[in-house]
Structure 1
Amino acid sequence: MRFANVLHLGIKELRSLARDPIMLVLIVYAFSFSVYTAATAMKETLHRAPIAIVDEDNSPLAARIAGAFYPPDFLPPEMIKPQELDRRMDIGLDTFALDIPPDFQRDLLAGKKPTIMLSVDATRMTQAFTGNAVIQNIVTGEVNAFLKRYRDVPDTTVNLVTRARFNPTLDNERFLGVMHVIDNVTLLAIILTGAALIREREHGTIEHLLVMPVTPLEIMTSKVWAMGLVVLVACYFAILVIVQGILRVPVEGSMPLFLLGTALHLFATTSLGIFLGTVARSMPQFGLLMLLILLPLQMLSGSTTPRESMPEFVQMIMMGAPNTHFVIIAQAVLFRGADGSVIWPQLLALAAIGTALFLFALARFRKAIVTMA
């Protein structure tokens, strides 16, 4: 293999990509606006939840409970009348509605066990699931603090001290932004290399390559390094500018180590893109193949759901996928500050998987290149 040919062919791929405005827009969008919206628009924690309160007691305790709900977890409570509760819930104005009954404070001080009704709009699943427990803790805490002023309240609960490591505020922006970058690395690596190969066929330039003194290995290697370099630079930009700069998510580990893992992952996924490009005869076919390959890779890699919660045979199968090892590397380095002594098995696995995919795609590419011409 002549490295000068690989270099010049790779530069040709970069120039061809620069003349494709649709692909350029896709790259910019995938590593900028898409990352920001994925991190900020899909809040899994309680954030600005609308709540209404029916205060039928008009007591200091009821006012204390109403004042315990404030931003950013909740919007300022709407004080409503009892007859408004169902109507507001029906039209979707409130996620939670708390009904404090008459004589609530008096019954509580008398030693009775009054009941507070909490209505929840369960169609808003994330807020409903999280907010139910949060509201219960808020109400219980305010009631206990109020009662301690009037009589001793035995504290029989266990004092559980929680330490949230790697994400002290339990903010999903720290997780979703990085994971979306990782998913887009795989997406763009496959699309760019596969589209580059199909573009050669559609534009008729594949015939020019065949009459030149270049080998299939040189052609494929040029596409792999050129498209991989584009995605690697875009990934570094997304982590540095979008994740760290705009989202203000700290990166705990070494960026060069993360980029090394990204480069090995790109070696595997760009080879996969070449293989899919030889199978598909057109871009629509390539898009359908992408759906069959990309969705399982991303959903079962552990980027959104822990691998330990999946069936064991799925875990075993996904150990042969590059995404699984790349997700482990990214989470270990960027979130937990791991060094090479921790992630070297995943680096070796990515190198082995990438080599196998490259050789497999090269064999397919050698057979298909004459047919494509």
Structure 2
Amino acid sequence: MRTLKNIWYLTLKEWRSLFGDPMLVIMIVFVFSASIYSVAKGVSSDVKNATVAIIDGDRSMLSHQIRDAVQAPYFKPPADIKREEIDRAMDVGDYIFVLDIPAGFERDVLAGRKPEVQLLIDATTMTQAGVGSSYLMQIFQRQISDFLQQNNAAAMMPVQPVINVSFNPNSLSEWYMPVMEVGNMITLLTLVLVGAAVIRERERGTIEHLLVMPVRAVEIMMAKVLANGTVILAASQLSMWFMVHKLIGVPINGSLALYALGVGVFLFSIAALGIMLATIAPTMPQFGLLMLPVFVVLLLFSGSGAPRSNMPDAAQGISEYWPTTQFAGFAQNVIYRGAGMDIVWPELLVMGVTGAVFLVLALFRFRKMLEQQG
């Protein structure tokens, strides 16, 4: 009971210190509101209203069928363009794609020949160009296949694919990015706030006050984890419900309470890591130089920005049991797929174990720091 009482009073001290710093409060509000919204609405990998021009040298039913299949919201209505206007139009950025359909295209398709169609792409708009070109290729192939089947000019395909997309039927990046960004901001804020709480004590000289009080190192450390963790947990849950779900419109298929449990375990793990880093760096600038590379590496290997299946096997093996990697999979399973405890308990277990390891290392480093300070 004495230990719990000490942790509680130290936690109250940490809350007063945190909420007494208006810049930290503004930062917490910003990263869980405006930052999440800007990532969802401002940074998008989707193709929207891409400009397309067509040189239709065939003027056949097939070429018109391909033209009609290029539709919103992915593309703007295709515009006719003359061959001599292509260079200038693409130089000034009027069109991202120019499709050149040669004369006799339909005749060659019906005859079983392989006519060549040129697609010019302005790759300065990198995301639109890469994803949009694959969309146009799919449209092109689908329309030719349908046309051949309608005219019985080619053998019917033995298999007709029917694609069903689960959890995100329209493949909208604004349904994916905000949930992952909440996890990224939890990681960043936890490292910053917990590390700053430790270094602030040392730089302001208040750590000497703690040394003469009847409190232990583990109580001081747990108070910092609890105080900053509860604030970030509350802010992340409010952001997930009001910003991600209500404002942006991302459906939450799973239990928000289970998600909160996972966030709590994840916070424990990252907070212990933050304290360990703060005991290594003696000043706040040095802590920032140490913390940022760690955060970037955790982010890149977590799978929140790019699929882990695209990474080399060695990278996947090294980062398999990192807390950020486990939390990214946990969040996707709960929020998108509606997974329950029977599915996500391995991620919770791994995050808890890594948090315990970080806590032991942080406690060892923290005690050494207090001894040196004393």
State the distance in 2 between where 1:109 and 1:355 align: 68
Greater CA drift, 214-223 or 198-207? 198-207
How far apart are the structure 2 equivalents of 1:186 and 1:130?
30
Aligned residues: 372
User: Deviations 1:124-161 (Å, cap 9, x if unpaired)?
Assistant: 33322322232233344445656777x43335333011
* Alpha-carbon distance between aligned partners in 1 of 2:333 and 2:305, rounded to the nearest angstrom: 15
1:315-326 equivalences under 5 Å are 315-326=316-327
CA deviations 1:318-340 (Å, max 9, x no partner) are 24421122122111111111111
> Could you say which residue in structure 1 is the equivalent of 2:43?
42
Kept in 2, the 8 Å contact 1:144–1:153? The answer is no
Tell me if the contact between 2:149 and 2:155 (Cα under 8 Å) persists in the aligned partners.
no
What SS does the aligned partner of 1:118 have?
A: strand
Shift of 1:198: 1.3
Paired residue secondary structure (2:260):
helix
Query: Aligned partners of 1:269 and 1:110: how far apart in 2?
Result: 64
User: Which residue of 1 is the match for residue 231 of structure 2?
Assistant: 230
- Give the gaps of 5 or more residues in structure 1: none
The equivalent of 1:156 in structure 2 is 156
Q: Aligned partners of 1:361, 1:148: CA distance in 2, in Å?
A: 67
Question: Which residue does the alignment assign to 2:76?
Answer: 75
SS of 2:302 mapped into structure 1: coil
My pick for the range that moved more, 102-111 or 2-11, is: 102-111
- Label 1:112 to 1:35 Cα distance change in 2 as closer, same or farther (>3 A): same
What is the SS of the residue equivalent to 1:300?
helix
User: Quick one: distance in 2 between partners of 1:70 and 1:19?
Assistant: 54
Q: Which amino acid aligns with 1:153?
A: A
Which secondary structure state, in structure 1, belongs to the residue aligned with residue 168 of structure 2? coil
Corresponding letter in the other structure for 1:156: M
Contact 1:50 1:74 in 2 (8 A): yes
Shift of 1:62: 4.5
Match of 2:5 in 1: 4
Partner of 2:99: 98
After TM superposition, give the deviation of residue 264 of structure 1 in Å: 0.8
Identity %: 43
Aligned counterparts of 1:66 and 1:222: Cα–Cα separation in 2:
64
Query: Residue 2 of structure 1: CA displacement?
Result: 2.2
Alpha-carbon displacement from aligned partner over 1:191-223 (angstroms, at most 9, x marks no partner): 100011112222222222222222222211110
Partner residue of 1:85?
86
Q: Which amino acid aligns with 1:94?
A: Y
Partner of 2:279: 278
TM superposition score normalised by structure 1: 0.90
Q: For 2:185 and 2:116, locate their aligned partners in 1 and report how far apart those are by CA, in whole Å.
A: 50
220 and 122 in structure 1: CA distance in 2 versus 1, 3 angstrom threshold: same
CA pair 122-359 structure 1, distance change in 2 beyond 3 A: same
Is the 1:182–1:327 contact (alpha carbons within 8 Å) kept by the matching residues of 2?
yes
Alignment-derived partner of residue 183 in structure 2: 182
The answer to whether the aligner puts 1:130 opposite 2:131 as a matched pair is yes
Alpha carbons 2:270, 2:323 under 8 Å: kept: yes
Q: Is the 8 A contact 1:261 1:347 kept in 2?
A: yes
Deviations 1:167-202 (A, max 9, x none): 222222222111111111111111100011112222
RMSD: 2.5
Call closer, same or farther: CA 1:55–1:10 in 2, change over 3 Å.
Answer: same
Deviates more, 1:347-356 or 1:103-112: 103-112
Deviations 1:20-74 (A, max 9, x none): 2222222122211222222233322322212122344556655554333232101
Please identify, of 228-237 and 120-129, the stretch whose mean Cα deviation from structure 2 is larger. Answer: 120-129
Equivalent residue for 1:364? 365
Q: How does 1:256-267 map to 2 (within 5 A)?
A: 256-267=257-268
Q: Greater CA deviation, 320-329 or 55-64? A: 55-64
Partner of 1:67, secondary structure, is helix
Distance 1:96 1:188, change over 3 A: same
Q: Which amino acid aligns with 1:291?
A: L
Whole-Å separation in 2 of the counterparts to 1:31 and 1:187: 11
Deviates more, 1:291-300 or 1:130-139: 130-139
* Aligned counterparts of 1:358 and 1:325: Cα–Cα separation in 2: 18
Residue by residue, what CA displacement relative to the aligned partner does 1:273-298 show, whole Å, maximum 9, x if unpaired?
11111111222111111123111111
Structure 2: 5+ residue runs without aligned partners? none
Partners of 2:30 and 2:67 in 1: CA distance: 43
Kept in 1, the 8 Å contact 2:254–2:338? The answer is yes
**Matched letter for residue 367 of structure 1:** K
Matches for 1:303-314 after TM superposition, within 5 Å = 303-314=304-315
Rounded Cα–Cα distance in structure 2 between residues aligned with 1:106 and 1:344: 60
CA contact (8 A) 1:194 1:286 kept: yes
Equivalents in 2 of 1:101, 1:320: separation in Å? 54
